Structure 1
């Protein structure tokens, strides 16, 4: 198979396709390093919690190390999660136009080799996790159960995005576990707000596959909400903003954090107004734009932490 034919359908023209060694490309695609948006979305709640917890503690001493560690850990564990997802979903992926070119259903990587690659990525993630305190290590390990069961949820419930939210938002607890060595109401409110955000943006993402999913029996909130997706997004994005605002209020933040939240909220409102669920290209673009929304909130929280310290 030529490399052009081996490329994943919705991820062409990236650095993996053009610069990575040929033998390595299927593995980089398996870990989604050709599409890093998911790693960013896993990372951002980690950075939010690190900045907010540092502001609460009025202590920035741990931030210079936490920020790069969370970056490396998010990319490693998102890669591991995607590899696990592709192993469990290999038969379903072969039936969907957008995913049939993924490395396992396309025959580029065997299941055995994918399992070895999964283990390597988990070891990298574990090495990162062990740089934190004992409470943070235990908190991080506790997330693995949610990650493990997520791929199976789309087979049994129209709400797999909730389980994805539980997994992708876990980082909202990690900053508090490391800086304050506790998970309090502020952390839980931030976690709940992030879960609502994930449900919203992954509903947008799932609309790319809604027709194929219906044919093969895969469930999602995109299929559940259908034409009512805009109204559902108002609820979940609105809830995300309210819950995060409650976390900020309890955390005693100053105006930069509120400004970041306002920018975050405006971005989510723009997504809802712009969305056309019948346009998969637009759905993907709006989904990816959530990195920018999350960075706006992080910038506000970081400036707030600097001011309070």
Structure 2
């Protein structure tokens, strides 16, 4: 793979990667383009994919799981989320290589900038999928087939921006699948709390990815791809606030139907306050601010998870 990289033409970093990230500073030079394909220099997506898995694992552990099982599943979802997020990003970059070269923020990515060929990227995709499969096979048969079913959503997502103004909704399905997986991994089935958690997570993803998409509105309009950021336009703040509100209500219902204690609802309250602050700060015309707000959802997810885990620890202890 290293031979396919034109070392003399490698840019210092990807344009929208955080300054001083570990890939740019510490990763071997021949691996950097592949790690950038997986967004290892921008791990926020891995966190956002992981949180619904961890929420679900904590929610089901309240009544159906043991401490040891919950910890093992949290580890598996941690590895699986970051690996499969990398695989999804690699697939997205392969499909979008002709679009990315026309957009200011994405033209420095490995494929459009010439760091990696499409064939090498495809091989890297295969490696990541094999690791993801190894993680998936640790679960029960129902969860394995449920995980395999998610690949259909993942596969069609990169094409959605070409045919609908709602690609964020399809991303919501893909990034929220873990809300079903965490429950299925313990019970070998699904129930209303998991489905409500999944729906709430979809609403969360639509909102934060609309914020993210506001960075590229001008370029997207020129290139001819679609997004909820373009669809909502000047009403983006109202739309984001509505989806965040829907997220909180649906997750509250999931907690209620799972007989969660006030500790879980306290975590949800902190999550809701964080989302409200995002809406208050949001300005769809400020791309830098949009990126900051989008990234802050890592902390929002952690707040909700902390409440759920505190509830679990309380119930296990008493």
Aligned to 1:120: 127
Q: Determine whether 1:16 maps to 2:16.
A: no
Aligned to 2:240: 233
Aligned to 2:43: 36
Deviation at 1:277, TM superposition (A): 1.1
Deviation at 1:4, TM superposition (A): 6.8
Aligned to 1:25: 32
Deviation at 1:61, TM superposition (A): 3.0
* Cα pair 1:6 1:101 within 8 Å, conserved: no
Distance 1:91 1:268, change over 3 A: same
- CA RMSD in angstroms comes to 1.1
Partner Cα distance (1:264, 1:15) in 2:
29
Q: Determine whether 1:298 maps to 2:314.
A: no
Partner Cα distance (1:301, 1:152) in 2:
35
TM-score (norm 2): 0.95
Residues 47-66 of structure 1 aligned to structure 2 (within 5 Å): 47-57=54-64, 59-66=66-73
Aligned to 2:3: none
Partner Cα distance (1:207, 1:126) in 2:
34
Gapped regions of structure 2 (runs ≥ 5): 1-6
Q: Determine whether 1:251 maps to 2:264.
A: no
Q: Determine whether 1:104 maps to 2:75.
A: no
For residues 212-257 of structure 1, the C-alpha deviation after alignment (integer angstroms, 9 at most, x for no partner) is: 0000111000000011011101210000000000000001000110
Aligned to 1:169: 176
- Kindly indicate whether structure 1 or structure 2 has the higher relative contact order, using CA contacts under 8 Å at least 6 residues apart: 1
Deviation at 1:7, TM superposition (A): 1.6
Aligned to 1:283: 290
For residues 138-197 of structure 1, the C-alpha deviation after alignment (integer angstroms, 9 at most, x for no partner) is: 111110000000000000000000000000000000111011111111110000000000
Deviation at 1:13, TM superposition (A): 2.1
Partner Cα distance (1:87, 1:4) in 2:
18
Deviates further, 92-101 or 61-70: 61-70
* Cα pair 2:212 2:290 within 8 Å, conserved: yes
* Cα pair 1:85 1:151 within 8 Å, conserved: yes
* Cα pair 2:237 2:283 within 8 Å, conserved: no
Aligned to 1:130: 137
Which of 74, 77, 81 is matched with 1:74 structurally?
Answer: 81
Partner Cα distance (1:140, 1:3) in 2:
39
